Amino acid sequence: MESQLTFAEHDAGDVTVLTMAGRMLLDDGDLAFRKQIHALVDRGRVKVVLDMAGVTYIDSAGIGMIAGKFKTIRERGGDMKLAALTTRGQRVFGMAKLLLMFETFDTVAEAVQSFGFTVR
């Protein structure tokens, strides 16, 4: 079984890229994701790109958590965008009708640029 969800974070100007790897399930992964997003919001980092390339599995609870934290960020005047969704991720988000809510991009660079920051 693959490891739980891990995170790496880096800033591109006022945009934070949160790279996730592993499985996002109704367990510690959800709690870890919630804490990670709240830590960003508490620091005023409300322009967020979720790099989903390393997410090997996501269940409906994981999708719900992302949608809930999207709302949290929006309430703080920010935005959350998705980058590098796997084929399965696209299918799961599509079935949940969440591709209508999120802006999605093929690459992290494109997502960051959509906030108006140029990636070198």
For 63-111, the pLDDT digits (tens) are 888 999 999 999 999 999 999 998 888 888 888 888 888 999 999 999 9
27 falls in which pLDDT band (50, 70, 90)?
low
Structure tokens at 95: 């079935």
DSSP E strands, the chain: 6-12, 15-24, 47-58, 79-83, 104-105
CA 69/CA 91 separation, integer angstroms: 20
Complete edge-to-edge strand list for the sheet that includes strand 6-12: 6-12, 15-24, 47-58, 79-83, 104-105
Does residue 1 belong to any structural domain of this protein? Answer: no
3-state secondary structure of 3: coil
Residue with tokens 């209508």: 100
Q: By residue range, what is the domain housing residue 98?
A: 6-113
What CATH number is given to the structural domain containing 67?
Answer: 3.30.750.24
Q: What is the pTM of this model?
A: 0.91
Does residue 120 belong to any structural domain of this protein? Answer: no
